[in-house]
Copies of this chain bind each other. A is one copy, B any other.
Amino acid sequence: MSILGKLSFKDQAFKLREDAILDATTRILAGKGFDLMTMDDVALEVGISKPSLYKHFKSKEDLVGEAMIRLIDGAQAFIDALSAEQGPRDKLSALLEWALRVRLAGGLPFLPSTSSHVREMLTRNLRYVTRVLKLNSALEKLVERGKKAGELRADLPTDVILYSYYARTCDPSVEYLKLYSKMNDDEIVAAMLAVAFSGIAARQADVRRQADGAG
């Protein structure tokens, strides 16, 4: 009787601890990245020992994969919850804003932008890949609908818009502005959105640039 109760309580605690581990992992990953994050860091931050950590996640790759999956799930949930009345551009803007605010609150960027190591690792994680493909497919449709609606530039390939959009979710400018400017989070988000959609050039200046550089 009390044994059964105790067991289910322990299961509950187990699940809660798993979330705590993922929270810690997310914070540390955001702070120093995959290569510099050690399992000791995570164990220490959670307040458990390293072997206990390995009872929950069988490897560092597995642990990081789960953290990334939770992030993608959050993005998918956010996009699913958007009103059907919003246009493609507004939806993309809202999701980008969400991603930037997650990062400013100490979260992770969508993409492991640079490290080819991390990219390969995640590529081997089928559960992660499945989710990313689904999200990517939804965003690709949004971009194409946006182009047709005249909200996004039709002169650019969809790939270019889509990858540029992803790149903004992990844009290092955010950290630099946070560190070296006096702007608050709202101002940083507004500026990043403005640059992502409208660029840094003044609007009246017509773009007649042509590739003819110093190769």
Name A residues whose Cβ lies closer than 8 Å to a Cβ of B: 31-33, 35-36, 78, 89-90, 93-94, 97-98, 101, 105, 111, 113-117, 150-157, 159-161, 163-167, 170-173, 176-177, 180-181, 183, 186, 189-191, 193-205, 207, 209-211, 213-215
- How many monomers of this chain does the complex have? 2
CB within 8 Å for A101 and B173 given contacts A115-B33, A116-B31, A157-B191: no
Contact check, A97 vs B214: say whether CB atoms are below 8 A apart: yes
Q: Collect the chain B residues with CB atoms within 8 Å of residue A196's CB.
A: 199-200
Give which listed residue, B114, B160, B165, B170, contacts A115 with CB less than 8 A. B114
Task: Determine if B98 and A152 form an interchain contact, defined as CB atoms under 8 angstroms apart.
Answer: no
Taking a contact as CB atoms closer than 8 A, the residue among B93, B98, B201 that contacts A151 in the complex is B201
User: A161 CA to B183 CA in the complex, in Å?
Assistant: 14
| Bound Cα distance A131, B195 (Å) | 27
- Residues of the B chain whose Cβ atoms lie less than 8 Å from the Cβ of A152: 200-202
Q: Which of B116, B164, B167, B173 contacts A160 (CB 8 A)?
A: B173
A164 and B195: CB pair below 8 A? Answer: yes
A155: which B residues are within 8 A, CB to CB? Answer: 194
* Neighbouring B residues of A117 by C-beta, 8 Å: 32-33, 35-36
Contact check, A176 vs B200: say whether CB atoms are below 8 A apart: no
A172-B17 Cα distance, complex, nearest whole Å: 35
Q: Roughly how many angstroms separate A89 CA and B172 CA in the complex, as a whole number?
A: 22
Q: List the B side residues contacting A207 at CB < 8 Å.
A: 194, 197-198
Tell me the bound Cα distance from A197 to B171 in angstroms: 16
| Minimum Cβ distance to chain B for residue A120 (Å) | 10
CA of A173 to CA of B181 in the docked complex: distance in angstroms?
Answer: 26
CA distance A114 to B114 in the complex (A): 7
Cα distance, A115 to B160, chains bound together (Å): 25
Contact of A193 among B33, B105, B183, B209 (CB under 8 A): B209
